[in-house]
Chain A
């Protein structure tokens, strides 16, 4: 909860004790690591401070899918990497997780995946600030003549910040792949539909 240090928080959910210990050893230098040995325990540990969840799909008791659903009902900000036994098909992106790893997971692969997911969170937040500033700027443009804006200090500062954010955005995700692209668009739609379930109203329009 307290942001005493700036390390991102990763919640590891896995029913095999030995694997938890392995993942913790790989992650503890770079991240604040929380662990849970099952679905119910995961939901107890989960909170706003969790940035990435590493979630085993197949667990006794509450499954990974059920945990995912419960997490998504709380927030769309946190990124979830599902750990599966078999490589899932492309379309499973529709199921709501952000990335997947197939067992057995290797150290490099795990660290890379978590870094990518954190970059995506960063992309999201830059993009949201960019929208707020761009629409503010657009409103100024629509209400004041150009000559006046050229001398307006607030407008110049706004432009400088927008340029800065734009440059950050370009460097945050230099290598966006196809499934990443689809997952990000899905997240945007889920976010902006304001908590409505996406399949509650059919595709009539």
Chain B
């Protein structure tokens, strides 16, 4: 099986277990990330947000056809907002990686059936990198993408390369199966795991 998406440089589906990095200016990549994680029927979407409030996330996902009961949010923005009908777990800092992993496990564990079809969005890796060492982030992303692979989920992560030195950017990008480089009016996709 695979996860259907809108058009990404000619691709329209990503294989089970794949993690995609979307790079570019954050206004553009957040839109691209929401497009990619909007769930189909029978799927769930878990968003770990550090740069966009839960209200906006839910509104944008609904605009893309999602129902509220498909959505789960881990909010690291300190927005302090509730959204009716959507579980929102709050964390104090985007740097609390253990907290993120624990809440993630709890949100997905709510469904008892073994194989949950789930899309996972992290917006953004750039924000998280302001609170963690690149080495810690690299190792976290490795474990996270391994979990996504073993659970046959679809991971989507965004990053703004201009916020990091070239070395940090090149190190982080090597974790992902594929990368979509976005500008205001163009996408270029490279790597593996899509068709």
Complex CA gap A204/B96 in Å reads 11
Interface size on A (CB < 8 Å)?
37
Chain B interface residue count, Cβ-Cβ cutoff 8 angstroms: 38
The minimal Cβ–Cβ distance linking B148 to chain A, given in whole angstroms, is: 9
A residues less than 8 Å from B98 (CB atoms) = 94, 182, 185-186, 189
Of the candidates B106, B140, B149, B165, the one whose C-beta lies within 8 Å of that of A90 is: B106
> Residue B184 at the A interface, CB < 8 A?
no
The answer to whether A200 has its CB under 8 Å from any CB of chain B is: no
What B residues does A137 contact at CB under 8 A?
A: 170-171, 174
0/1 string, B149-171, CB within 8 A of A gives 1? 11100000000000001111111
Chain B residues touching A, majority SS? helix
Q: Which residues of A contact B150 (CB under 8 A)?
A: 173-177
Please determine whether A135 and B92 come into contact, CB atoms closer than 8 angstroms: no
Least Cβ–Cβ distance between B152 and chain A, in angstroms: 11
Residues of B within 8 A of A203 (CB): 92-93, 96
A128 to B136, CA, bound (A): 10
A188 near B136 with CB under 8 A, answer: yes
Kindly list chain B residues whose C-beta atoms are within 8 Å of the C-beta of A127.
Answer: 139, 142-143
Q: Does B102 contact A (CB under 8 A)?
A: yes
A91, B134: Cα distance in complex, Å? 27
Asked if A182 and B105 make an inter-chain contact with CB atoms under 8 angstroms apart, the answer reads yes
Q: Which residues of A sit under 8 angstroms from B133, Cβ to Cβ? A: 192
Who on chain A is nearest to B168 by CB?
A: A138
Q: Is the CB of B170 within 8 A of A131?
A: no
Contact among A128, A131, A162, A185 with B143 in the assembled complex (CB-CB below 8 Å):
A185
Please give, as numbers and ranges, the residues of chain A lying within 8 Å of B147 by CB-CB distance: 176, 178, 181
Interface residues of A (CB under 8 A from B): 90-91, 93-94, 123, 127-128, 130-131, 134-135, 137-139, 141-142, 162, 169-170, 173-179, 181-182, 184-186, 188-189, 192, 203-205
Top 5 closest pairs, chain A to chain B, by CB: A138-B170, A178-B105, A142-B166, A185-B101, A203-B92
